[in-house]
Structure 1
Amino acid sequence: MNHTQLHTLFVQISLMLAVACLFGYVMKRLGQPVVLGEIIGGILLGPTVFGAVFPDIHAGLFPADKTIATGIDTLLKVGMMFFMFAAGLEVNLSHFRNGKWPIIFTSLFGGVLPFALGFGMVFLFPSLWGQAAPPTDNLLLALFMGTALAISALPIIARILMEMNLLGSRVGMTIMTSAMINDLVGWVLFAFLLRNFGRETVGGNVFTALALVLGYALLILAIGRWLLRPILKSGWLFKNWPGGVLTFIALLIMLAAVGAEHIGIHAIFGAFLVGMALSQGHDPEQEKTINAIIQPFALNFFAPLYFVSVGLKANFSSQFDGPLCLLIFALACVGKIIGAGLGAKLGGMSWREAAAVGVGLNCRGAVEIILASVALEYHLIDQRIFVALVLMAFLTTLLSSALLKPLLNKGRQFS
């Protein structure tokens, strides 16, 4: 990379951080998740607005240079792994022991119904998908859309509940644990899809691929329990080299990413598993230390760059498909709110509690966008579907943030 390319690269990073800071602050003042502002900033900076109004200036700031694009893409991939590690840290399997029936029914219905709707809409509305779904890939696209509608945004949900001091309440615990279960199953399915995409048949590889993905997940969790947990519990690293904690965790993330890519799944799956492994069962003070070291680094540098890049990637004017966006958004809301809400009610919660659970789990946010970005990278979906999924993630996050707080504030007795 020569001097001119480096200069352009640094200018792009500076612009992305500037719009992330500005619009993230605006959304924070409005009481909305910062990630929404970062996406809006990217849309305004990208081809949808700035590129359409000032095409020459935009082309000068964001030239079609493969070397620069590779540099940015590498930085974003590393950032995505740290973000997913931070998301994995929010997973706490011990929550399942308390209030297991609401969690079981909520995660079951809140995962199965939206998955069924997402899967079915590919075959029920074939004209909407165009060239994105050739005959040999119809099943994989249907599985992906089911997975995309079934997951929730665990980090954003956690942030909303933490702000309301309701993370440990019955409703908060049900939302968080059900989201964790749905997301874990969803990422396993997604890893399976990436392994099989591009092959002529899927059936013969289903059990082998799923076994490999599940085996890798169990291996990472086992290493975390029997090797990493004793190292962290000893406290040696925290006492003798606090700065080395970041180096140690970065090493773990990279090794897990290498293993994930080696077996044919995306590196971010390995990073998510490492975060999940380190979130289980060690000293609360050490957990706070890890969060204090990693989360500011991941959420305030890498994450803003990544989510601004989402707006830069997509042209929301030329790639906007109204019927497709409406269908995906409607089915996402119906599937998750009704499915999770019904599950919570069957688990013994009141209607208000069940409504809060359904609305909370409807938040797709950052995790949905990462899923869509990886699918676009692998050419599993096209730009139209990508734009529709990003818009769905944006609107469901906005809807959850607007409705969840009033529901939970009126239901303080839930805790």
Structure 2
Amino acid sequence: MTPSEIFLVAMLIVFSVPYLVWRLGRTDYLAPLVVVQILTGIALGPGVLGAAFPEYHRFVFSPPVTQALSGVAQWAVMLFVCIAGIELDLRQAWAKRRESGITAGLALGVPLLLGAAAGAVLLAWPDWAGPRAKDWQFLLGIGMSCAVTALPILILLMEKLGILRQPLGQRLLRYASLDDLAIWGVLAVILMEWDRMGRQLGFLLAFGLLTLLFRRLMRALPEQDRWTAALVWLLACGLGADWAGLHYMVGAFLAGAVIDAHWFDQDRLDQLRHHVLLVLMPVFFLSTGLRTKWAVGGAAVLAAAALLLLVSVAGKLLAMRLAGRWLGWPREEARLIGWLLQTKALIMIVFANVLLDKALITDATFTALLLMAVASTMLTIPMVAPMLARRAAETGADADVGRA
């Protein structure tokens, strides 16, 4: 078979297998399609399929095919991260800054500290920190991985649960928006390199100046031209950030963060996010799965993933209990918010990919983080749906609002 034919075979697997598992297995309650796609990517990686059928794996995922898939995946994740930046609504967070600041600060800070402590445990053994990582970079990277809330996935799950447009859903969007902003700020700090400090400061200065011109241009353009201008801006920011050593994903997020969502029709923006998830992101999930390895042994990776999952879940729940006491929430509401903020898949996977690209973590650590992200996301709906049903029954609303 020619390389193009093998590439199409790989693409056929990427789009057919997870959909069939999701639809025929009716996994939506435990694992939405996006989670099944991530799990399929892991299964197709060298740690599972590659170990069971090495010759088949080498044939289908040969270097030319993997390189082509990586190019598609890179563009997919740039679009996705940019849209996540556009969806940030900092105006609402500022309008209710005391509540939002306390909640978002605790939701980020508590699991970050617990995650860093778990990272310190991993540092006691070799093969977890990457070859270029300083101890503080590794600890901060692991801590932030445990603190992440994936805003786009949170939106999808809240739509599924029927609470996105309710007051609770809007509150969660405020908290997650602030945390999303902090995540990329922390990533930029982690990636700062003294030998490239001049480039990085130059990029940030140029970005600030060009943002003023870009925003003025976007206001003057009709909406149909804003879409193309936004894509050009995204590519320029991604290229500049990567040249400066900050990684193109940081540039993609910055590009989206300075774009106002109201410049576009909201329905079309929602459709773009949906189409990126449908058409492009499955390739990123496969590309991510191809990077999973069990270099220090499967049991050790699973144990590390379990430790990270424990501190991540406990950190969010403890943080929301503290926020609830401070702000006077009912205990059940604090637990509900804590579980909804567990969603990590996608953004945490993007974050971990950057850490791996920069050799700050090893393949084994990346695999453990990936398993933790998937497990925490899969826990969300089973834990939240019964609480929403009880909440609806207590308020006299339709009890089916909490069904998945």
**Which TM class, normalised by the smaller chain length?**
0.7 to 0.9
Kept in 1: contact 2:146–2:312 (CA 8 A): yes
Query: What is the aligned partner in structure 1 of residue 289 from structure 2?
Result: 311
Partner of 1:103: 100
Matches within 5 A, 1:281-300: 281-282=262-263, 286-292=265-271, 294-300=272-278
Does the 8 A contact of 1:229 with 1:278 survive in 2? no
What amino acid is the match of 1:71? A
Deviates more, 1:380-389 or 1:311-320: 311-320
Deviation per CA, 1:14-42: give whole Å up to 9, x if none: 22222233234357653232221002222
Indicate how the Cα distance of structure 1 residues 154 and 218 shifts in structure 2: closer, same or farther if over 3 A, else same: farther
Correspondence for 1:390: 370
CA contact (8 A) 1:28 1:34 kept: no
Which residue does 2:12 correspond to in 1?
A: 14
Alignment of 1:164-203 (within 5 A): 164-196=161-193
Deviates more, 1:266-275 or 1:24-33: 24-33
The secondary structure found in structure 1 opposite 2:389 is: helix
Distance 1:129 1:353, change over 3 A: farther
**Same amino acid, percent of matched pairs:** 23
Letter in 2 for 1:76: A
Distance 1:224 1:363, change over 3 A: farther
1:345 Cα offset (Å): 3.7
Alpha-carbon separation, structure 2, partners of 1:135 and 1:308 = 26
Measure, in 1, the Cα distance between the counterparts of 2:305 and 2:256.
33
Residues in 2 aligned to 1:341 and 1:153: alpha-carbon distance in whole angstroms: 20
What is the letter of the counterpart of residue 60 of structure 1? F
What's the counterpart of residue 340 of structure 2? 360
Maintained 8 Å contact 2:131/2:360: no
SS of alignment partner, residue 281 of structure 2? helix
Query: Aligned AA for 1:262?
Result: W
SS at match of 1:411: helix
| Residue identity in the other structure for 1:365 | A
* Structure 2 CA distance for partners of 1:213 and 1:247, relative to 1, 3 Å: closer
Residues 230, 161 of structure 1: alpha-carbon distance in 2 compared, 3 angstrom cutoff: farther
Q: What amino acid sits opposite 1:315 in the alignment?
A: K
CA distance 1:282–1:355, change in 2 (3 Å): same
Letter in 1 for 2:242: E
The CA deviation at 1:104 is 1.5
- Matched to 1:147, the amino acid is M
Report the TM-score, using the length of structure 1 for normalisation.
0.84
Q: How many residues align?
A: 392
Change (3 A) 1:130 1:42: closer
Residue-by-residue CA offset, 1:256-290 (whole Å, 9 max, x unaligned): 2122223321212222233333344446xx23223
Q: Identify the residue that residue 33 of structure 2 maps to in structure 1.
A: 34
Look up the match of 1:249.
230
Tell me if the contact between 1:221 and 1:276 (Cα under 8 Å) persists in the aligned partners. Answer: no
Q: Which residue of 2 aligns with 1:227?
A: 217
Distance 1:346 1:209 in 2: 43
Q: Is the 8 A contact 1:372 1:386 kept in 2?
A: yes
In the TM superposition, residue 225 of structure 1 has moved relative to its aligned partner by: 4.5
Distance in 2 of aligned mates of 1:174 and 1:210: 34
Q: CA deviation at 1:414?
A: 12
CA RMSD of aligned residues (A): 3.1
Kindly indicate whether the alpha-carbon contact (under 8 Å) linking 1:363 and 1:397 is maintained by their aligned counterparts in 2: yes
CA contact (8 A) 2:110 2:316 kept: yes
> Does residue 1:89 correspond to 2:67, yes or no?
no
Corresponding residue for 1:265? 246
d(CA) in 2 for partners of 1:179, 1:22: 32
Q: Distance in 2 between matches of 1:211 and 1:152?
A: 28
Amino acid at match of 1:385: T
Choose which of 389, 401, 408 in structure 1 pairs with 2:381: 401
Name the amino acid aligned to 1:323: A
The structural deviation recorded for 1:153 is 0.9
Match of 2:401 in 1: none
TM-score computed with the length of structure 2 as normaliser: 0.86
**Aligned match of 1:146:** 143
| Stretch of structure 1 that moved more, 134-143 or 149-158 | 134-143
Q: Please say which of residues 81-90 and 404-413 is displaced more in the overlay.
A: 404-413
| Alignment map for 1:296-375 (pairs within 5 Å) | 296-315=274-293, 319-320=297-298, 321-375=301-355
Q: Secondary structure at the match of 1:30?
A: coil
Q: How far apart, in 1, do the equivalents of 2:362 and 2:337 lie?
A: 32
Counterparts of 2:54 and 2:107, CA distance in 1: 44
Q: Indicate how the Cα distance of structure 1 residues 226 and 409 shifts in structure 2: closer, same or farther if over 3 A, else same.
A: farther
1:192-233 residue CA offsets vs partner (Å, 9 max, x unmatched):
22233xx69x9xx6xx899778767756765564432443xx
Post-superposition CA distance 1:299-324 (Å, at most 9, x none): 11111111122223213597532332
Structure 1 distance, partners of 2:126, 2:336, is 33
| 1:137 Cα deviation from its structure 2 partner | 1.1
Unaligned ranges ≥5, structure 1: 239-243
1:338 deviates by 1.1
Specify the code of the residue in structure 2 equivalent to 1:228. M
